Structure 1
Amino acid sequence: MDFTLHGDVLALLFFVAMAAGFIDAMAGGGGLITIPALLLVQLPPLLALGTNKLQGCSGSFTAALTMLKKRQVRFADVRVPFIAAFLGAALGTIAVQQINPKALDAIIPLILLGIGFYFLLAPNAGEVDGKPRLGGGLYRFVLVPIIGFYDGFFGPGTGSFFSLVGVSLRGQSLIGATAVAKVLNFATNIASLILFIAGGKVLWLVGMVMVCGQVIGAYAGTHAAIKGGARLIRPLIVVVCFSMVGRYFWQKGFLPF
């Protein structure tokens, strides 16, 4: 089957990736934009997921590198969670190539609603560092790999999941949790990308065009997140989570339009 795309479609995907990179750098959920776009241009699901990881990896790398350079997070502090996220995503990517990822359809909207309502109804969450409610061991070796597995298996909303755990369970400020989320999201993306490449599930021309857009959007989004802080990130997380749920219901035909 021929997957050659015309220049106007590639240009559209460039701008789609740029918008997704901006949103993902701040709140997560860039896959909400890019995966439907790739499916819309008739890429098979696994090829769409693999190509999405190529462009998403560039965006998460840009965001993570910027956060590290701006000293919003130190890699020494997230080295172990980075490895845990990498391994979790690798397992998830192997699994998605064996079973139907739609098995997650029933639970993911509920989780996203929970994240959205948490940040909506807890207006002071993440303003400053707080007291951790979850031990470091459970965080590093249980929750982080589980979120990593989800990203390798399906993807959209991973950054929001990492941010929620950081704020609600580890007592991080929202900007701190967002910075950690960017580094861990890069770990999950690179793990998935390696395995999708090994499985021949990446469309390189499309992916590289979207990489260019992702880098621009992620760079701008990361700087906006650092400058805007929780005041800007919190409402965006709420909007992204509710938008992903709305898209789910629309896809399933539950909405009358």
Structure 2
Amino acid sequence: MDLLIVSLASLFAGFVDAIVGGGGLILVPALFAVFPHTHPATLFGVNKSASVWGTSAATLQYARRVRIPWRPLLPAAAVCFAGAMAGAWTVTVISPDFLRRTLPLILGGVLLYTLARKDLGRQHAPRFSGRRETLAAATLGLTIGFYDGFFGPGTGSFFVFLFVRWLGYDFLHASASAKLLNVTSNLAALILFIAKGHIWWHFVLPLAAANIIGSLLGTRLALKHGSGFVRGAFILVVIALILKTSYDAWWRT
């Protein structure tokens, strides 16, 4: 029964994550609820062992239908991997607790800005090209990759928002591009968890399969309905993130 519950959570997480990120909002709480006495690092390792496959499947699906700018994104992905590794190492020596109270405020600013700019992310009009686009994408990858390794909540939403706001992508292209970087940050974290022994190998296959199925369904829905749909999903996920991180920061004992 435990495996069934977390597999269903993994499927739904893959579905949400493929559209706009935020799958960790679903699978991580489910793992903590089902296995309350397990070391948190092990549960995070289980989450990453599923999500890395779902984000990879989503990336491949988007690549078939959306023009992904590989030239700037591949160096950005490499830098993102290094940033995530650095962030994961940093969290072993510095506590990320100071971010808990500020994160809901940052997400609130992202939400208000998105709601105020009705046209934000509806048109795909990249602001940079050539080396400037590569540098911008690499800066984004390094920064958010480090954040993902160090703390993590809202990583997918931050990737999408910054691709839209800073690089000028529409929400569909931003979500597709974010998936590639998210694969590398997930992989970096997973490698670290495996090296530390925080992995349940008997859970990897069923949760990964469920996550891939959910990811394929979510990707198909996003491609079918386009940027307007992804924008709406982004707003809902950010609201959910604000509620969850606010509870974690201020009300949970």
Aligned twin of 1:4: none
Residues 61-70 or 201-210, more deviating = 201-210
Aligned twin of 1:167: 164
Return the offset for 1:139: 2.0
Q: What's the CA shift string for 1:124-166, capped at 9, x where partnerless?
A: 1111123528953652343321100111223232111111111
Q: TM-score, normalised by structure 2?
A: 0.90
Aligned twin of 1:227: 224
Aligned twin of 1:63: 58
With over 3 angstroms needed to count, the CA separation of the structure-2 counterparts of 1:55 and 1:131, relative to structure 1, is closer
Residues 228-237 or 74-83, more deviating = 74-83
Distance 1:66 1:162 in 2: 18
- 1:179 and 2:172 aligned: no
RMSD of Structure 2 on Structure 1 (CA): 2.0
The equivalences for 1:89-104 within 5 A come to 89-104=84-99
Counterpart contact for 2:28–2:47, Cα < 8 Å: yes
Aligned twin of 1:5: none
Counterpart contact for 2:73–2:138, Cα < 8 Å: no
Counterpart contact for 2:72–2:137, Cα < 8 Å: no
The equivalences for 1:185-200 within 5 A come to 185-200=182-197
The total of aligned residue pairs comes to: 248
Distance 2:203 2:126 in 1: 45
Counterpart contact for 1:31–1:155, Cα < 8 Å: no
Aligned twin of 2:120: 125
Distance 1:232 1:131 in 2: 20
Counterpart contact for 2:76–2:140, Cα < 8 Å: no
State the one-letter code of the partner of 1:183.
Answer: L
With over 3 angstroms needed to count, the CA separation of the structure-2 counterparts of 1:142 and 1:71, relative to structure 1, is closer
Secondary structure, counterpart of 1:97 in structure 2: coil
- 1:75 and 2:66 aligned: no
Aligned twin of 1:13: 6
Counterpart contact for 2:11–2:214, Cα < 8 Å: yes
Secondary structure, counterpart of 2:229 in structure 1: helix
State the one-letter code of the partner of 2:12.
Answer: A
Return the offset for 1:248: 2.4
Q: TM-score, normalised by structure 1?
A: 0.89
Counterpart contact for 1:117–1:238, Cα < 8 Å: no
Distance 1:103 1:217 in 2: 34
Secondary structure, counterpart of 1:107 in structure 2: helix
Counterpart contact for 2:85–2:189, Cα < 8 Å: yes
Aligned twin of 1:249: 246
Distance 1:217 1:230 in 2: 19
Return the offset for 1:223: 1.2
Structure 1 runs not aligned, ≥5 long: 1-7
Secondary structure, counterpart of 1:125 in structure 2: coil
Distance 1:115 1:194 in 2: 31
Return the offset for 1:71: 3.8
Residues 212-221 or 116-125, more deviating = 116-125
Counterpart contact for 1:68–1:74, Cα < 8 Å: no
% identity of equivalent residues: 33
| Superposition misfits of 4+ residues, deviation over 4 angstroms | none
Return the offset for 1:53: 0.9
With over 3 angstroms needed to count, the CA separation of the structure-2 counterparts of 1:44 and 1:63, relative to structure 1, is same
